[in-house]
Amino acid sequence: MSDIYSTERQNEIINSFKTLLKEADNFPRDKNPTDYKIFWTALRSEGSNLLGLTHHLLSILETEKVDVINE
C-alpha cells in the first residue's frame, strides 16, 4: 500500500469526514443559511480525500479479485 494511504492516513480521512458530518448535522437550524458555507468548504476538501481513498481501496479489491480468478 502506498504511503499516502497508510492505515493511519485512512483512519484520519474517515474520522475527519465523520466529524464534518456530525458538525453539519448539529448545525443550528435557526442560524443564517449562509453560515453553512464553512461546511461546504470543508466538504470540498474532506470529500475529495474520501473519494481518493475510495478509489484506492476499490483498486485494491479489483487487484485481489483478479488474483483470485487467476489462481
In this structure, are residues 20 and 39 in contact, taking their beta carbons and an 8 Å threshold?
yes
In the predicted structure, residue 37 carries a pLDDT above the cut 70: yes
- Greater confidence (49 vs 30) lies with 49
Instruction: Note the pLDDT of residue 2.
Output: 53
Is the pLDDT at 65 greater than 70, yes or no? yes
pLDDT at 29: 76
Rounded average pLDDT over 10-20: 94
Q: Is 14 exposed, middle or buried (0-12, 13-18, 19+ CB in 10 A)?
A: middle
Summary mean pLDDT of the chain? 85
Mean pLDDT of 65-71: 74
Q: Where are the domains of the chain?
A: 3-70
